[in-house]
Amino acid sequence: MILDFLFKPSFARGIHPPQFKETGRIGIRRMPFAPRLTVPLSQHLGKPARAIVRPGQEVLRGELIAEADGYVSVPAHAPVSGVVEAVELRPTLSGEWQQCVVIRAYEFSTQEVLFGEPVDIDTLDAQQIAQAVQDTGMVGLGGAAFPTHVKFAAPKEYPIEYLLVNGCECEPFLTADHRMMVEWPQQLVAGIRFAMKGCGAKRALIGVEDNKPDAIAAIEKVLPADGSITVHAVRTKYPQGAEPMLIAALLKKELPAGQRPYQIGVVMQNVGTLAELGRLLPKRQGLIERVVTVAGPGISKPGNYLVPIGTPLRFVLEYAGAPHDAVEVILGGPMMGRAIASLDVPVTKAVSGILVFDRSAMQKERGKVHPCIKCGECVNVCPKGLNPSTLGMLAAKREYELMAERYHLDGCFECGCCSYVCPSNIPLVQQFRVAKDIVRERQAA
């Protein structure tokens, strides 16, 4: 058994934090519709969508309410049937005020999706599939929120050989992808087929951490007989689902610093993204809801909920039983997620998890920051082979250019392994985020 674990595909270094994956045993449940939903027009990397509705206008669930404004942009659809109350600036998860469409839901509506046009995807070519994907408003549901159709359009000088499908979900607490693999395997395989045709890949490899045997079994039952799509159990280790790590584990290739996966013939997508494409594309419908893990010590009804886009965060937490004395809410996982300052913001396409920690949990976790003792633990676990200790000391002295030029700051993808193992409680990854922001600002200036 030990040898079986050791020889499963993986990458060098990394960590093994506690999993807290109890919600992986709970089926996906639909969350009720809030009285009002706020749909930001910028829920993705790239240019915000452009609103095509006005206050007072009636909209139906699934109806287009904002058009893509350019190539690196995606549209938005009404997550609920109701009346548009406003198109105005509202606070969002990023902390910025952004243009949003506010919809008051019809209280007694069936909320049936009436929009869509059945289509045979097999009749579409690659360019038409990319356009159909953009029309759904799909972005990477793993958290990056990069417009999905853009990944299908690699430059012609870089032919795509492999589609890597990330089903690792290595962050503690998060199990939304796990449940989608268990409950929607046919939609996942359909989405993979669409993505393969869209990007030109000949093979698709699904990487799933070996702590999800039920997900692997569910997928194996629906795989095509021609072997073009395969599923592989990889070692449970954080951050196994990061692009460079999964490429190393499944393809035994290194993604050079500064390069994109397409430059080595690879396109990588999250299982949640492709499962949703498998659900939406055949009906030509838009993305109006997503599966979100709601968990943490401060939640009395944890689970995976199908949440309408634009649902107020406060509504989600009240429904899931969050206490009023919750002291920290993190969007995403505890390793790479970020705490938010307000609950009066909407759930967006990028929210894969909502974690709530009460006062007692936070008091146990927080500790005093001490000077670096040069133990080298951060160096031992960094999956990119960087020296977080040196980078941290340079950050403390504000030597940002030196960090970038000599110590490969751009190679850090902020996984948080260094902060996790630091016995001095130094917030290394937070220092690196600040440093990268400053370097980018200076370069832009």
Per-residue pLDDT tens digits of the chain, which is 445 residues long: 443 444 578 888 999 999 999 999 999 999 999 999 999 999 988 899 999 999 999 999 999 999 999 999 999 999 999 999 999 999 988 788 999 999 999 988 888 888 888 888 788 888 899 999 999 999 999 877 899 999 888 888 999 999 999 999 999 999 999 999 999 999 999 999 999 999 999 999 999 999 999 999 999 999 999 999 999 999 999 999 999 999 999 999 888 877 899 999 999 999 999 999 999 999 999 999 999 999 999 899 999 999 999 999 999 999 998 876 667 899 999 999 888 878 889 999 999 999 998 766 555 555 688 999 999 999 999 999 999 999 999 998 999 989 988 999 988 989 999 999 999 999 999 999 999 999 988 888 7
- Tell me the CA distances in angstroms from 278 to 44, 188, 199, 361, 372, one per residue in order: 20, 6, 16, 39, 49
Strand partners, 204: 163, 229
Task: Give residue for tokens 């919750």.
Answer: 326
d(CA 45, CA 77) in angstroms, rounded, equals 17
What are the residues whose beta carbons fall under 8 Å from the beta carbon of 364, sequence distance 6 or more?
none
Q: Which two structure tokens, joined as six digits, stand for 270? A: 């999250």
Between CA 24 and CA 21 the distance in angstroms is 6
Distances (CA, A) of 347 to 40, 62, 434: 9, 17, 25
**For the domain 1-25+111-366, what is the CATH superfamily, name and number?**
NADH-ubiquinone oxidoreductase 51kDa subunit (3.40.50.11540)
Per-residue buried b or exposed e for 283-315, using 16+ beta carbons within 10 Å of the residue's own CB:
eebbbbbbbbbbbbbbbeebbbbebbbbbbbbb
| Helices and strands: H and E segment counts in the chain | 15, 17
pTM of the model: 0.93
C-alpha dihedral (48, 52, 55, 59), degrees to nearest 10: -110
Provide the 8-state DSSP code for 344. Answer: S
Rounded to an integer, what distance in angstroms lies between the CA atom of residue 346 and that of residue 352? Answer: 13
How far is residue 384's CA from residue 419's CA, in Å, rounded to a whole number? Answer: 14
Helix (H) or strand (E) holding 126: helix 126-136
Q: Which two tokens stand for residue 90?
A: 């509202």
Specify the 3-state DSSP secondary structure of 193.
Answer: helix
Residue 170 structure tokens: 């290595």
pLDDT at 366: 57
User: What token pair was written down for 401?
Assistant: 């250019």
**Range(s) of the chain covered by CATH 3.40.50.11540:** 1-25+111-366
In this structure, are residues 252 and 225 in contact, taking their beta carbons and an 8 Å threshold?
no
pLDDT of residue 118: 84
